[in-house]
Amino acid sequence: MASFRIRHYQDQDYEAVRALFARGILEHAPAGFRHILRAARVRLALLAVFVAARAAAGSWVLGLGTVALALVLLWVLVRSVSTEYVRDALGTDLCDVAGSYLRAPDRCFWVAEEGGTVVGMVAAVPAGRGELELKRMSVSREHRGHGLARALCREVLAFARARGYGTVVLSTSMVQVAAQRLYEGQGFRKVGSSYPSLLGTLLNFQIFHY
């Protein structure tokens, strides 16, 4: 970790932070797609599509082609969950990082840099009821596995303790298994789950709350 430096966000980090966040979220789309395909109701729906298409066209090839098209459409739907989340974040708090996180009490935004390049980020905001929320955690793929995410997490926990918060909360998607292990290793425990949207409900894509 000696080669990394964690510091407060600066205006020159703007584009790097937005790009890091978008890449970090979108790279989980394939895992989400695989999760959806493992669902029994999705497999049954694909089988029904195949049977109906084969019966209508009288051809195995057209039946398989219809299933392939259905898979493509399903992939587009799954990815749209991620892209919509990214679009919302980039249009709200990550549109004005300094205004959202550095100009009000009990808010902060940190970046981790190596050799002058931003390779990690995390934020903290009050969540009400004496809780602080850990948000926007992301570490570039090339710099994972070296303790950087743990260091960013500890930065938020220390920030919370220094300001008298008794609880830190966060949310992560069901397919972000590495993130779940990280948070649980830092003492967080899962307290619930929810669906991010109607589409998320239809695809059985959940958000876990810690």
Burial status of residue 62 (CB atoms within 10 A of its CB: 0-12, 13-18, 19 or more): middle
Instruction: List the chain pLDDT tens, one digit each, 210 residues.
Output: 458 899 999 999 999 999 999 999 999 999 989 988 888 888 888 899 889 988 888 888 888 999 999 999 989 988 888 899 899 999 999 999 999 999 988 999 999 999 889 999 999 999 988 899 999 999 999 998 889 999 999 999 999 999 999 999 999 999 999 999 999 999 999 999 998 877 777 777 889 999
Phi then psi for residue 129, to 5 deg, are: 55, 35
**pTM confidence score:** 0.86
Quick check: 206 and 173 in contact, CB under 8 A? yes
The Cα 62–Cα 149 span in angstroms is 48
Domain count for the chain, please give it.
Answer: 1
Parent domain of 50: 1-209
Q: Residue 176's domain is classified under what CATH number?
A: 3.40.630.30
